[in-house]
Amino acid sequence: MIRKYFRKKASGKGKVDTFLDKYNLPRAYFNVNRKMITRGILIGLFWAFIPMPMQMLAVIACTPFIRFNVAVAIAMVWLSNPFTMPPMYYMEYLTGNFILGKEGLPDVALTLEWFSDNIADIFVPLYVGAAFYSTVVSFLIYLFVNWLWIRSVRDEMSEKKKKYSK
């Protein structure tokens, strides 16, 4: 099922080909196959969990070293947006405190002013939690999507065998 979804999205090649030709972008970074899509999810989620500006540029900086679907990776980075960042960063801060065995600050307010006033106290726990989520959670989601893709291909093959065996 997941494979069919991405195949459908890739079938509208007119506009995509025009875009790639216009900006002279390599087609390899827009391939739709299991490895490219799951790697794109992994890279995108990895950078999405790290509290930093310009996460999309970090994704682009990875392209010479790892081959992945860039469009999917950038879409995954957009999961951390101004609405989701405060809860994500708070969760990372709490996780970092838990990993470090610290109590944390009382009366946490999810405002920019509170963050700027307490940056020295929250910096290390925040990035320890971010490192945990960037590596562990993004890798688990990578494995899950990879498993879903393989399962959908197997289900599709078994449906074809049933169809042709009748």
State pLDDT tens for residues 78-87: 988 888 888 8
Tokens 């960063």 — which residue? 89
| Burial annotation 114-148 (CB, 10 A radius, 16+ → b, else e) | ebeeeeeebeebbbbbbbbbbeeebeebbeebbee
Q: What is the Cα–Cα distance from 124 to 130, expressed in whole angstroms?
A: 10
Q: Please state, rounded to an integer, the average pLDDT across all residues of the chain.
A: 85
Max mean pLDDT among 4-8, 110-114, 130-134 falls in 130-134
User: 20-24, 88-92, 96-100, 121-125: lowest mean pLDDT where?
Assistant: 20-24
Average pLDDT over residues 139-164: 90
pLDDT of 130: 95
pLDDT of 165: 75
Q: What is the Cα–Cα distance from 140 to 138, expressed in whole angstroms?
A: 6
Q: What is the Cα–Cα distance from 137 to 166, expressed in whole angstroms?
A: 44
pLDDT of 23: 64
Helices 138-165 and 34-48, packing angle to 10 deg? 160
pTM of the model: 0.79
Average pLDDT over residues 110-131: 86
The three-class DSSP label of residue 155 is helix
State pLDDT tens for residues 29-52: 788 888 999 999 999 999 999 998
